[in-house]
Amino acid sequence: MGFSNQSIEKLKEQINIIDVVGRCVPLKRAGSNYKGVCPFHSEKTPSFVVSEQKQIFTCFGCGASGDVIAFVEKYYNLDFTEAVEKIAGEYGIQLEKSTYGDNRDVYYQVNRLAANYFYRAFTERANKGYAYMKRRGISPAVLKKFGIGYADEQWDSLYRYLLAQGVEKKIILELGLAAESKGKCYDKFRNRVMFPIINTSGKVIGFGGRAIDSSDGPKYLNSPESRIFQKKNNLYGLNIARQSAGKTGYLILVEGYMDVISLYQSGIENISASLGTALTENQAKLIKRYTKNVILSYDADGAGRAAALRGIEILKKEDCRVKVLHVSEGKDPDEYIKKNGKAAFLELVENALPYADYKLESAKLGMDLETDEGRIEYSKKAVAILEELSPVEREVYIKKLAREMSVPEAAIRMELSDAGEPAKNPERRNRQPDVSRENTEVSPVERTLLKLILTEESYIDRIAQMPDILQSEFASAVWRLASDEYHQNRFVDQNRILDSLSEQDAALLQEIIDQVIVGGNEEQVFADCVRTWKKNLLAKEEQRLILQLSLADEENNQKRIEELTDQLMDIQKKMKIEL
């Protein structure tokens, strides 16, 4: 669910940015504006300015700027929707939802009913689940914090309970709370400790169930993918860990539910886990909202090392700073912290290997560095790793590798030179600027692009290279459906996509299919869409710079004014090129 542009504008009209920012930052009037010490970076001389007239803020120290929603997003580590909901809730403002939604609130409510059912079964009477967690040493307070529950041993107790609450059978099956065989429905989770999976908006999106008896199928059983639960988009425990991650400046990623819970009980709260899958780009983007510093704490076996190496690459693409720790003695974090305590685990965190060191250490595995052959083979792998580093990092590790292998630095530089131009480091890739996600309407550019991808599948992957070109949630959702269809079946079935949408969304997409014409001139149409999109981005950046300049104090911010003026001139030159 999103909010209409009209609803967002009404919200802004009913509140004053001075009131909202003033709750967090002491402000003093300075002419027609207000000044304070910036909450987003360390400074002694106030350079943070809030304009009541324009209803925006800007910092001439760190460059942070935006409207009241952008301030709440950045200050509280929230996404756009969460920030809007927080402001509306605090000021008692009713918001109108946009019409592209597909009634997901019903699905969230059903999962909440199931979570409450499991929790009552866990706490109100003796059961195997509670006994198991007690043996694992988890306190009642922590069990409550994470909403731990128990799925009993009966075949259909949850199913019958949900039916009695008026829940449709179709929804119960879609959410994976029950399954159907030979015309009979039965609970999917039985005799398991239940871990509710809660997103950062506080909604129950799925469940993980741990078998108590070894005879009860797989050790862990997760909810299937559904319209409200995609494992690649969520992390276990992040709803609890995000605030601590912001305060400590880093997030620890572990492999399992119990690792998260046990570390939390020991006082380490900036802890989260992927949901039984390798780390994904979407999960990395989610982490980046709260911190850029990530420590991977995976098992030290082959699978754990492979997962860590994959995770490093995913996180580096999002400009995150990554380190890796492996718990000593072959134990997982849960076992280690119970045996050695919080201080010992934090020492492991302190000594975690930077990503380049970890990759070099991993490259040594299985090699005999006492032999010339082993040393040469390792050196080749090490050079390949060095190629991926920034120039400064490369210099540091050339010296390290030369000392370690007892070879001249010049030899390593020659190997690097022979390997060709270093690969582009993710930290230095040119990125499109972020686009505001306020716009929930479907623009003409988006309508045209949706018609293109449904006409010619090759545009699906080309649009993937420009993720911000689709700004509305509707257009992004249709693109994802088309992309999944194409990569699974090598073609796009329009009818299947229409069937996957709500009635309103399907009607809108059908309107686009019927009315937008691109036939015979697809490449020119695509180029025009990209050009328009770039022009809009530049225009938005131009407006942002003009607003910042209008707030600048000429006496105190001359250097910053010159920087902003240069940036503005550069943007305006680019705009002329795009015309």
Q: Give the model confidence (pLDDT) of 215-254 as tens digits.
A: 888 899 999 988 888 888 889 999 999 888 888 889 999 9
pTM for the complete prediction? 0.61
Beta carbons within 10 angstroms of residue 28's beta carbon: 9
Distance of CA 357 to the CA centre of its chain: 26
Tokens of residue 207, six digits: 């469940």
pLDDT tens track for 344-396: 999 999 999 999 999 999 888 888 888 888 888 898 899 989 988 888 888 99
- Residue 12's pLDDT is 85
Tokens of residue 202, six digits: 């506080």
- Residue 427's pLDDT is 37
Q: Which domains, and CATH codes, for the chain?
A: 5-91 (3.90.580.10), 104-229 (3.90.980.10), 238-359 (3.40.1360.10), 366-426 (no CATH), 444-573 (1.10.860.10)
Q: How far apart, in whole angstroms, are the C-alpha atoms of residue 67 and residue 71? A: 6
- Residue 233's pLDDT is 83
DSSP H helices, 56-209, are: 68-76, 80-91, 104-123, 128-135, 140-145, 157-164, 169-174
Mean pLDDT of 131-149: 96
- Residue 103's pLDDT is 66
Tokens of residue 547, six digits: 């607003």
pLDDT at 417 over 90: no
The letter for the amino acid at 368 is D
End-to-end CA distance of the chain: 36
| CA neighbor of 385 nearest in space, from 361, 411, 350 | 361
Q: How far apart, in whole angstroms, are the C-alpha atoms of residue 542 and residue 166? A: 53
Round the average pLDDT of the chain to a whole number and report it: 85
Of residues 482 and 290, the one with the higher pLDDT is 482
- Residue 433's pLDDT is 30
pLDDT tens track for 10-52: 788 888 999 999 999 999 988 878 999 999 988 888 889 998 8
**Secondary element (H or E) of residue 91:** helix 80-91
pLDDT at 159 over 90: yes
- Residue 98's pLDDT is 58
Q: How far apart, in whole angstroms, are the C-alpha atoms of residue 263 and residue 274? A: 15
Instruction: Report the percentage of the chain scoring pLDDT > 90.
Output: 36
| CA neighbor of 388 nearest in space, from 467, 305, 306, 322 | 322
- Residue 346's pLDDT is 93
Strand-pair partners of 271: 252
* Least confident range of 158-167, 206-215, 497-506, 529-538: 497-506
Of residues 396 and 2, the one with the higher pLDDT is 396
